Chains A and B, each alone.
Chain A
Amino acid sequence: MNKLVAEDMYYLMVLGRAFEYAAKENYMKGNISGFLHLDIGQEALSVGAVKAFEKGDIFSGYREHIMAMSRGLEPKAVMAELFGKSTGVSGGKGGSMHLFEPSRFFYGGDAIVGGQLPNAVGCAYARALQEKEEGVMVIFGDGATNGGAFFESLNIAATHKLPLLFLCENNEYAIGTKITRAAPFREQAKKAEPYMMTYEVDGMDIEAVYKVIREAQIQIQEGHGPVFVEAFTCRYEGHSVSDANSYRSAQEMAHCKAKDPIKRFKKELQEKWMCTNEEILSIESKAQKTVEDAVKYAEESPDPQSEALFEHVFYEEHTNVVS
């Protein structure tokens, strides 16, 4: 890491948090509907992991706005997608949970818990066959580690020694169920230990996340097979905006917020990277402005045309393909 990378990551964290608060505000106003899963509190993990995994394919779940923007998807196109507008990342047909950008090797955007895991395994298989170096990273929550798709994926990835980085964001809650009520232990890496090398990291510390993902990516590139990284983190909001978060005490929330990843990294910027207050303020106001512009863009963008309804059900016209 260097100062430029650190500043960029700080920008993305601040941008991400401002973006999520703006999304929440617009949900309350009725501009955004459906399910909206906010990533507030987990910025270090989302930004750090995606920035560290510079090249290669990324598969993720439905709490993916900040990951998408960290992969270079435009904030205004992400916000427009949340608004359901034609200018959105997925033309307004995906929504918050379905952000995809194959040109940036970002495959969002899966709303079935654990559903992205077998897809990432298949993609890693393809990359190995094509002898592409970068490998694949798949991001999922602790809840996904209790499902069958997870165990199948560990098994296949390890059997074929696939270049796949499993990144478990353990925020200790599967919607409202505490991890220890759904699994026999808090550390989900234990499930992967028989199959592959595992790492644990403080997901509230962006530098630590960045470092471990860099290291893990090098490992998968060297052909030793998959690696499992578990990052402990904390989401500040409910599972989605419609979840009142009533299952966590004020004390638990306060403990969680005391480790705030943005405050922590801001201090690092000042002390380690010698950023001046002016530099930091300039980053913060740039992020704020980007979010305001994104909301404005989303508000002003048109809804999809009615013809869009029938577009992209299939790629090909079905008439008369000859063999």
Chain B
Amino acid sequence: MLYREALNKALDEVMRADDTVVTLGEDVGLYGGSFRVTEGLVEKYGEKRVIDTPIAELSIVGNAVGMAIGGLRPVAELMTGSFSLLAFDQIINHMAKLHYMSNGKIILPMVVRFPQGVSRQLGAQHSESYEQMLSAVPGLRVLSVNDVNYAYHALKYAILSDDPVVFIEHELLYNKKGEVDFEQKCDPFQARIAKEGKDITIVSYLKMMDDVMLAVPMIEEELGCSCEVIDLCSLNPIDYETLSKSIKKTSHLVMVEEDHKTGGYGAQVISWAAEKMFYDLDAAPLRLAGEDVPIPYNRTLELATVPTPESIVRDIVAWGKKNEL
């Protein structure tokens, strides 16, 4: 099953079981969704529950908030995270805060699906990552999806949850293949150990997880060691317990992310490790992130802005050798 099919299946199943679930966004209906995640749903559930909206992001999220107040379970799709900035007032001032400001009286069971990231030459205004901003907002659950199995289970969880969830997808992952274990009981807030190892803990999420997994065999060969790779899955809250267990075992920490390095999401993981895991670490942690530049159009330049499997191998091997791993 493909990543986008897993998301589609989750949406389909929940919409079939609960007629208060609606989905809205630009071209989610007749067009089938920009990334085909909502394909076929309008035929099954009609235009009133699969709602094509104007290109007006503030209203997509703002309307979803109102729908949730009115007793629906809306799943809003933003065409790309870069456009979400037009909706940030509604995401932060409304979606995240109404429950708290009303002392729990307003409940917002809603999801904002958030495709993002550097794709293929889409330019600076279609390539950004905003998990660092979103996860810094109290009141939002922020999930990130790398894995096909997790895509299915986490989206079902997000829609059925009575809290507002930002559900981050990566634009390059929609055609990724994987298996879904439909019988599995999945805790969406638990980090996923993608590969076990004993010498280095590599933490990542979203598309960088795949690049890390490609890099790992070469890193292990060059350094003669074994890597444990952890997919964070939930970015807020963070499953520190899984991270802590792994770091205690390996004594080495590497964080790999796609967003810009300054103020980027991984800074939270590293700062936590510096505060809480300092004496468990045998070396200063390594953090690989995107460059502090807007994403350029030219393919060579674009590839140079974010970590790649090659740069991940090069940087981790250099760091490993320096630290006598």
Contact = CB atoms under 8 A, between A and B. Distances in A.
A100 interface: yes
A318 interface: yes
B106 interface: yes
Given A122-B65, A323-B156, A313 B101 contact: no
B196 to A, nearest CB: 22
A167 interface: no
Contacts of B67: 122-123, 125-126
A3 to B, nearest CB: 35
A155 B22 contact: no
B143 to A, nearest CB: 11
A250 interface: no
B89 A112 contact: yes
Between A109, A110, A126, the greatest number of chain B beta carbons within 10 A of the residue's beta carbon is seen for A126
Contacts of B100: 93, 312-313
A123 B66 CA distance: 4
Nearest to A149: B58
B56 interface: yes
Contact of B106 (A107, A112, A126): A107
Contacts of B106: 100, 102, 107
A94 B65 contact: no
A189 B287 CA distance: 55
Interface in A165-223: none
B187 A320 contact: yes
B19 to A, nearest CB: 9
Contacts of A313: 99-100, 138-139
Given A115-B90, A122-B66, A156 B104 contact: no
Contacts of A4: none
Contacts of A107: 69, 106
Interface string B131-155: 0000000110100000000001110
B66 A118 contact: yes
Given A118-B65, A318-B141, A312 B58 contact: no
B126 interface: no
A89 B103 CA distance: 8
B164 to A, nearest CB: 9
B105 interface: yes
A159 to B, nearest CB: 8
A314 B72 contact: no
A293 B102 CA distance: 24
Interface residues of B, number: 54
A254 interface: no
A127 to B, nearest CB: 6
B283 interface: no
Between A117, A120, A122, the greatest number of chain B beta carbons within 10 A of the residue's beta carbon is seen for A122
Contacts of B22: 129
A311 B72 contact: no
Contact of B66 (A126, A159, A320): A126
Contacts of A155: 54, 56
B185 A312 contact: no
Interface string B218-251: 0000000000000000000100000000000000
A321 B157 contact: yes
B70 A91 contact: no
Interface string B50-82: 010110101101111111111110100000000
Given A102-B69, A107-B69, A156-B59, A122 B99 contact: no
B110 to A, nearest CB: 10
A316 B59 CA distance: 26
A107 B106 CA distance: 8
Contacts of B93: 112, 115
Between B65, B69, B185, B186, the greatest number of chain A beta carbons within 10 A of the residue's beta carbon is seen for B69
B12 interface: no
A107 B108 CA distance: 13
Contacts of B154: 323
Contact of A119 (B51, B94, B157): B94
B161 interface: yes
Nearest to B74: A122
A40 interface: no
B211 interface: no
Nearest to A153: B59
A321 B188 contact: yes
Contacts of A156: 53-54, 56, 59, 63
A47 interface: no
B22 to A, nearest CB: 7
Between A57, A91, A152, A155, the greatest number of chain B beta carbons within 10 A of the residue's beta carbon is seen for A152
Contacts of B195: none
Nearest to B56: A152
Contacts of A118: 58-59, 61-63, 65-66, 90
Nearest to B72: A126
A322 interface: yes
A90 B138 CA distance: 18
Contacts of A92: 103
Given A115-B90, A314-B99, A322-B185, A152 B66 contact: no
A321 B49 CA distance: 25
Interface in A94-142: 94, 98, 100-102, 107-110, 112, 115, 117-127, 129-130
Contact of A314 (B59, B102, B160, B163): B163
11 contacts: A94-B101, A100-B101, A100-B102, A110-B94, A118-B63, A149-B59, A153-B59, A314-B141, A318-B189, A323-B154, A323-B186
Given A89-B103, A123-B69, 17 more contacts: A59-B66, A98-B101, A102-B69, A102-B106, A110-B94, A115-B90, A122-B67, A129-B22, A148-B58, A156-B63, A311-B103, A312-B100, A314-B141, A321-B160, A322-B186, A322-B187, A323-B154
